[in-house]
Amino acid sequence: DIQMTQSPSSVSASVGDRVVITCRASQDISSWLAWYRQKPGKAPELLIYAGTSLYTGVPSRFSGRVSGTEFTLTISSLQPEDFATYFCQQASTFPWTFGQGTKVDVK
């Protein structure tokens, strides 16, 4: 199975801050990676697919970058609704696997 190593596990930030979250795949997955935001008590929401493509309706403050097997999610200016947990998911090969999650909380 492809392992997804996500970091950091948590980050404390303020509204307006730039936040960067990283996922590293254990093998080549090309750009087959998705990012999700999960607000407390809610289902995950798709933010980014194919490594860098913004899903419909997702604000432009979210962006994705791919460099080999390293993937980054950047939130350019954190908003109140962005205090949540973020997960990456490789979508290259079954079984789909997720990163461990990054919790973004209030500094």
Partner 1 sequence: QVHLVESGGGVVHPGRSLRLSCAASGFVFGEYGMNWVRQSPGKGLEWVAVISHDGSKRKYAESVEGRFSVSRDNSKNTVYLEMNSLSAEDTALYFCAKDRLIWFGESYGMDVWGQGTTVIVST
In this chain, which stretch among 13-21, 61-69, 76-84, 98-106 interacts with partner 1, using CB under 8 A? 98-106
As beta bridge partners, residue 60 has none
In whole angstroms, how close is the CB of 90 to partner 1 at the nearest point? 10
- Asked if 64 is part of the footprint of partner 1 (rule: CB under 8 A), the reply reads no
Measured from the CB atom, the residue of 43 and 80 that comes closer to partner 1 is: 43
- Asked if 13 is part of the footprint of partner 1 (rule: CB under 8 A), the reply reads no
35 by Cβ neighbours in 10 Å (0-12 / 13-18 / 19+) ranks as: buried
- Asked if 46 is part of the footprint of partner 1 (rule: CB under 8 A), the reply reads yes
Distance CA 32, CA 49 (A): 7
As beta bridge partners, residue 72 has 22, 65
